[in-house]
Chains A and B, each alone.
Chain A
C-alpha cells in the first residue's frame, strides 16, 4: 500500500532536513528519504568548520545567517564559537590573504588583521613562521558527526516521517509523483531533490540533467591531545582547516582530494593528499607532530560549474524542486533549507534563492 505525502524530500542531509522542518512548520506533511542514514553524506563527514574567512564573497549574507542558525542549535550539534585565524606563510600568500579578506570584510564579515604579538598571545603554540594572520571572532565549528543524530531527533520531535536505508529507484509522474523505494511505494504531490553529490543520478530519474560534479574532500582526526589550540586555524589558500575539539582530538581538513565517485561508495582516501595535508597542519602547529592520526576519511562535496548553490524549481518538472551544491554548504545549509521551505510554501524568501535554470558558464549570481 502506498502512502501519500505533500512532499517527498530525497536526501536526509542538512538541507533536506532543514527544508522538511520549515515545510512542516508551514503546515505541509513531508517525508524525508535517505539511501543511507540521515546526515551521513557531506553533512556528517565534513570538518565542521564554520568560518566566514573561507566563505565566498557573494554568499556572505547567507553565511552570516547560517552562523546564527548553528549558534541557535548550540550544544546539540557541538557548536563552539572560538574565533578563527587564517595564516599566511609566504609573501605571495600574505598578498592573497589581504586582498581576499578585504573583499570579505566589505561583504559584512568582521575580519581584521592581527599583529604577530597578538597572534602569539592568543595561540602560543602556532609556528613562528607566520607572515600575516587575519582573525574573525564569529568563526568556530560544530561537530558534523552529530548531524544525523540531531536531525533525527528534530524530525521525530516534529512528527515528520523519515526513512533511512531507503534508496529511491524510480520516480513516475502521476497526479504528483509515484516513488519506487527500497521501503515500498511512496506518493507525494511535490518533490524536493536534496541528495547532495547524488543529485545527478536522482535528477536523471526525472529525465533532468543537472551539471553536478563532486569534489572528494579529505578529513583526518588525531587521538586526544593536551591543549594545542583554542581557535579554528586556516590557511590563506583555504587548504588547511584545523581545530581541537573539547575531547582533545584535532580535526584536520582543507579540501585535499581523495579518489572515487559518489556512485561507487564512499570514496577512498589518497595517501598523496593526506600526507601533505598533515604536513601543512604540522607546519602551522609544530606540536601536532606527536599526535597519532586515528582515522582519515572522504566526503563528496557537490558543485556546479559556477560553484554557487542550486536552490529553486527543478527545470522542466512542475512541482519539483532542487537544493544543493554550495561551497561551504555545511555553514549555509540550515539557513538556506529554511529559505527553500518558504519558497515551496509560496512565501517570499528572506534572501533570494539560486535559480537552477541559470546559465552556469556566465557570472549570473
Chain B
C-alpha cells in the first residue's frame, strides 16, 4: 500500500528542509526524503556520534537548529532513502524509493525537488590518485567526522570554497602546503560590491584568507593544479600560472604533499527534475544546465516545484529562503493563501542570491581550464576513458553527449555520468566551436541511483508476474 501525502520534498538540505517546514506550517501533510540519515544536506551535514562534543561551527549550528525545527514540526522525515524514479499521474506524483534494500512507493499531490549540487573537478593528469579529494567532498569529512584529508595537504580550486577548506584544515590541526586558485585578486575585488549585500558572509571569508596569510601559507593566485604525482598515494602536486581565460601559460612548479583537495565549482544536480518532466536551459551564471523554473520555484509542470542549488547555484544562504518561498508556493498550489508571506521574503532572497551568484561567478571555470586535461588524462572514471579517446570519438563525428555515451559508454557506469559529462560536453563544444548552450547533458534516465535487481524484483510468485499476451506470430 502506498501512503498519500500533500507534498513530498526530495532533499533535506537548507532548501528542501525549509520548503517542507514552510508548507507544513500551513497545515499540509509533508514528507521530506533524503539519502542521508539526518537532515542538513551537504552544507549542514550532521555530525557523527563520535564528535558531537566538538566545538560548534556556523555550519553545525545552522544544521542543528534546522534539525531541531524539523523535530518540532509535523514534517514526516524519511532518511536513508533514495528516490530512483519519479512518475507523474493524473492527480499528482508517484515516487519510487529504495529503503533498506527494498523498493516502495510514496504518492504526493505536489512535489518539491531540492537535490542540490555536485562538484565539478577539471580532470588533470593524476587526479584519480588516492589522496585526491573534491573540495566539497573534503568539507563532508570535516563536518561529519573531523577527519583530515592527510598530513600535508594542497588545497586548490575556485571561489570561496578553497579558502574555507584550507582554513578548516588548519583549524583542525592539519598542515596546508599551499593554496592554489585560478581566481586572481582582481576577480575578488570585482565581486566586492555584490558581497556587501551580505557583510556577515564577507567578513567570514576575509577571516579565512587572513588566517592563511598570517600563518604564512603560500597562496598562488591565478594558478591551477596541472599534475598530481605519486604511485598509489599523492606525493607531489604540480601547478602552473594561468592567463585571463585560465589557459595554462607558464612552466610547472611543484609542492610536496600527501593529499590534494581539488574542485572547480558546483554543478546543479538536475536529473530528478528532468525525470519529473522539466526542460533544461543553459545559465552559466547559475552553474550551467538548469531545469527551467519561474517565480518562487514554480515550473511548467503542474504540481512540480524546484528550489535550492539544484535550480541554480546561489549558495546555502539563498537556498534557505528559496526553500521557504518554494514551500509556500507549493502550499498555495494546494489551496493555502501564502502570497503576502512570499512577498515579504523576496527582498531577503534577492540579497542572499546576489551574494551567492557573485560566488558562483568566481567559482565557474573559464574556458582555458579545460586545456589542463591532456590526452592521457582519465576523464570518465567508471570506464577508464581518457581525454584522447573521447577527443577521437568527437573528431569521428560524435557531436553530442548522447553520441559520445553511445559510442564509448562515457556515462553508462555506476556514476551515471555525474563525474564526466560536464567535461565531455565542454570538449564537444570546444572541438566543434559551438556554444556550451548547444551541447546539453545526455538524456536523464532512471534509476537516479543504482538499484539492485533483487529490490526491483521484490518477493514474487511466478504466477503473479503480469505477463501480457505474446507478440504476433
Contact = CB atoms under 8 A, between A and B. Distances in A.
B and A form one assembly: yes
Interface of A: 36-40, 44, 54, 56-57, 89-90, 96, 100, 103, 129, 145-149, 152-153, 156, 164-165, 221-223, 236-239, 247, 249, 255, 266, 268-271, 274-276, 278-283, 288-297, 307, 327
Interface residues of B, number: 45
B403 A279 contact: no
A66 B87 CA distance: 38
A147 B406 CA distance: 8
A297 B103 CA distance: 19
B402 interface: yes
Interface in B112-126: none
11 contacts: A37-B406, A149-B406, A222-B453, A266-B443, A270-B87, A275-B457, A275-B458, A289-B454, A290-B452, A293-B447, A294-B416
Q: Which of A37, A148, A281, A297 counts the most B-chain CB atoms under 10 A from its CB?
A: A37
Contact of B454 (A270, A282, A297): A282
Contacts of A223: 413-414, 450
Contacts of B275: 268
Interface in B388-418: 393, 396-400, 402-403, 405-407, 409, 412-414, 416
Given A152-B397, A282-B457, A297-B445, A292 B471 contact: no
Given A223-B414, A295-B412, A279 B396 contact: no
Contacts of A238: 470-471
Contacts of B407: 145-146, 148-149
A274 B456 contact: yes
B456 A293 contact: yes
A289 B459 CA distance: 11
B451 interface: yes
Given A271-B87, A295-B447, 20 more contacts: A37-B406, A147-B406, A153-B397, A221-B412, A237-B469, A237-B471, A266-B443, A268-B87, A271-B446, A275-B457, A276-B465, A278-B453, A280-B465, A281-B453, A292-B414, A292-B450, A293-B451, A294-B416, A294-B447, A296-B447
A255 B445 CA distance: 17
Nearest to B447: A293
A290 B406 contact: no
Nearest to B451: A293
A134 to B, nearest CB: 14
A347 to B, nearest CB: 30
B452 A296 contact: no
A182 B405 CA distance: 24
Contacts of B170: none
Nearest to A37: B403
Interface of A is mostly: mixed
Interface of B: 85, 87, 94, 96, 103, 275, 393, 396-400, 402-403, 405-407, 409, 412-414, 416, 443, 445-447, 450-454, 456-458, 460, 462, 465-473
Contact of B456 (A100, A221, A279, A307): A279
Contacts of A279: 456-458, 460, 465
A275 B96 CA distance: 11
B473 A291 contact: no
A236 B275 CA distance: 33
B35 to A, nearest CB: 15
A277 to B, nearest CB: 9
A295 B453 contact: no
Contacts of A280: 465, 467
B416 A295 contact: yes
A156 B398 CA distance: 12
Contacts of A275: 103, 456-458
B412 to A, nearest CB: 6
Given A37-B399, A96-B470, A146-B407, A294 B413 contact: yes
Nearest to A58: B473
A54 B470 CA distance: 11
B458 to A, nearest CB: 7
A164 B434 CA distance: 14
Contacts of B414: 223, 292, 294
Contact of A39 (B85, B406, B443): B406
A16 B396 CA distance: 20
Given A279-B458, A297-B443, A269 B85 contact: yes
B442 to A, nearest CB: 10
Contacts of A268: 87, 275
Contacts of A100: 473
Given A271-B96, A291-B453, A56 B396 contact: no
A294 B450 contact: yes
A255 B471 contact: yes
A292 B406 contact: no
B87 A290 contact: no
A310 B446 CA distance: 33
Contacts of B413: 223, 294
A152 B467 contact: no
B396 A282 contact: no
B465 A44 contact: no
Contacts of B399: 37, 164-165
Contact of B453 (A36, A54, A290): A290
A307 to B, nearest CB: 5
Given A56-B472, A239-B467, A271-B85, A278 B406 contact: no
Contact of A165 (B94, B400, B446, B462): B400
B356 to A, nearest CB: 32
B397 A156 contact: yes
